[in-house]
Amino acid sequence: MRRTMLFLPGNAPNMLINGDMLGADSVILDLEDSVDPGQKDAARALVRNVLNQKLYRKSEVIVRINPLDSEFWREDIEAVVPSRPSLLMPSKVGRAEDIRELDVFITQVEQKCGVKTGTIGLLPLLETAEGIENAREIALSSQRIVGLFLGGEDLTADLHARRTKEGGEIFYARSRIVCAARACRIEAYDTPFTDVNDEEGVRRDAQLARDLGFIGKAAISPRHVDIINEVFTPSEAEIDYAHQILEAIAEGGRLGKGAVSLHGKMIDAPVVKRAMQIVEMENAMAGGGLVD
């Protein structure tokens, strides 16, 4: 599971070198928005070197590449795929055809450099109205896809909407991405909260995302990582109650009961499913294996 995904500029050597110590489950080495066009080559070389040095032992490594309507995305893929990041994050994905084109090119690069076909996963970044409306088709477009990622800043610009801390303007997009992802049996990841200094704001925003069904959230500041981790980690009370539910179900099965209750409340299939999800997360955290 990816509770937190921390963006790191691909042209910032100090941040890239120290990124594994910042507490995020995943880091996103960015070759897109944080890198000026004239610095793309240098950023690719830096990211490739960081990947080759295997500096990241605590965090999964994702590389955000430039969009397909740019001149840079093929060079991005050719530079980083041989170093085997866990995932590529294609930006501004609007259509399933975008992913299919990417998939073909990634396969060619994998074969050329001796990487097993399908090694590199994809986490598409949906940040346009077109991408949101095509979310389900995008999710089904490649077996490489592990989830859908919402980009709120570019999306609100595309919608001609005003970006607010409350997030009402992206509520529909959030809901649509979660529904599309879960319908396709993959995960949904939420957009960053961009006010670095508002720690209570990021907590509220993360809690809303979790309540809507997102499994994790991105961050643009290391200051937000611990807060997001806390929000997306089940509390001791949630874990204890989940175990009580599963124990009650097991006991009911042993006694041959057709219906089971706990603390006066009936336990139905959705309640059991949520309990199992919480216990699975507990086990993943205990084993240090938070990434699927």
Q: How far apart are CA 144 and CA 64, in angstroms?
A: 15
DSSP-derived 3-state class of residue 64? strand
What amino acid is encoded at 94 in this protein?
G
CATH number, domain containing residue 189: 3.20.20.60
Closest CA to 151 of 235, 245, 82, 217: 217
- Classify residue 292: in a domain, yes or no: no
Last residue of a domain, one of 217, 232, 247: 232
Q: Is 64 annotated as a binding residue?
A: yes
Strand-pairing partners, residue 121, are 87
Q: Is 240 annotated as a binding residue?
A: no
Are residues 228 and 3 in contact, defined by beta-carbon separation less than 8 angstroms?
yes
What amino acid is encoded at 69 in this protein?
D
Of the pLDDT bands very low, low, confident and very high (cuts 50, 70, 90), residue 92 is very high
| Phi and psi at residue 65, to the nearest 5° | -105, 165
Amino acid 290: pLDDT = 52
pTM: 0.86
User: In this structure, are 251 and 189 located in the same domain?
Assistant: no
Amino acid 257: pLDDT = 74
Q: How many distinct structural domains can be found in the chain? A: 2
pLDDT greater at residue 96 or residue 237? 96
Last residue of a domain, one of 232, 248, 268: 232
Are residues 120 and 154 in contact, defined by beta-carbon separation less than 8 angstroms?
no
User: In this structure, are 257 and 121 located in the same domain?
Assistant: no
Q: What is the pLDDT of residues 110-169, one digit of tens each?
A: 999 999 999 999 999 999 999 999 999 999 999 999 999 999 999 999 999 999 999 999
- Pick from 51-55, 175-179, 275-279: least confident: 275-279
Q: What is the pLDDT of residues 180-224, one digit of tens each?
A: 999 999 999 999 999 999 999 999 999 999 999 999 999 999 999
User: In this structure, are 137 and 274 located in the same domain?
Assistant: no
Q: How far apart are CA 66 and CA 6, in angstroms?
A: 18
Of the pLDDT bands very low, low, confident and very high (cuts 50, 70, 90), residue 287 is low
Q: Is 127 annotated as a binding residue?
A: yes
User: In this structure, are 150 and 257 located in the same domain?
Assistant: no
- Classify residue 125: in a domain, yes or no: yes
User: 188 CB contacts (<8 Å, ≥6 apart)?
Assistant: 147, 148, 149, 150, 177, 178, 180, 181, 182, 213, 214, 215
**Which residues constitute the domain of residue 282?**
236-287
